[in-house]
Structure 1
Amino acid sequence: MFSIEEFKSVNTNVNVFDYIHALFSNENVAPDLVLAIDSIFRPKFKEVHGVLFVEELYSSDKHESLEKANKSNGEISYWVNLIDLTSVFEGVDFQVVLSIAEKIKTSWNKELNRDYCGYNAQACLIKEEESREIYLTLELKE
């Protein structure tokens, strides 16, 4: 697969739509990739016992296990919603993953502030410089 910079370097007067067209017509890219990426940036949230969770990440078993361990709602939200973005974008430069993570965080927070402000949840980015790992989760605002 080629980058947008590579595409623009060999084509003149092209835009992001031309790039996407080229990818889908020249590479074996599954069309549902676009919907999957959309669900990363604009996830569906679900409420369980007054706490918000990213629907795709929610696990009732993990939730119940944390409840049995007497974890607070904030801790449950944190651990159930935690995603390792470095693993999702394995092989991608750390700074690029960080840039993507910041955009995801911003998108999540816009949706949370617009449609779920009563839940006091916010997206939180965790950056581990030493291990070169980036995580995203939901935290309850204090």
Structure 2
Amino acid sequence: MTLLAPTAALAAALPALMGTAGVAVASVSPVHSVQVDHRGNTYKVDYRAKVTTSSRTIGIAPSTRTSSQRCIMTARVSVERAIADGGHELAAALPGEEKFTRSLPGDCSNRGDQIARLVEDKAPAIGDHLAQTAAADRSQALAAIDAAHHFAAN
């Protein structure tokens, strides 16, 4: 099993993707790769994290009082599986997601660097989520390979 987590590249990509209090999808994702031997063939199965970030401002900032605004940042991690045998790839989005949040004082404008830091700080947890998902998905991956063989034979 190999776990690749390009956290620096992921952190560098997010500020460019983030606007003010919006939603962004990270273009660089951690990957968990395993080799599966099934029916005499070896398949490479990649589990890719799809990280979607969002932020929203809650509270108020009246001009005559102290602001009660807070920026709630959220990173949602879903997993996509890709099974490859050399020339073909079978891809599927797996059910479930992991959610990470952070709250900071103030509004969410110009918070791309802090959202990137949230994702970077949670990189070990994202890697653990990928590994757990891969372990739980082994039987479904084998079933997908069998289904593809059955479909190709008919």
Higher-Rg member (1/2):
2
Q: Which has the higher contact order (CA 8 A, sep 6+)?
A: 2
TM-score (norm 1): 0.25
TM-score (norm 2): 0.23
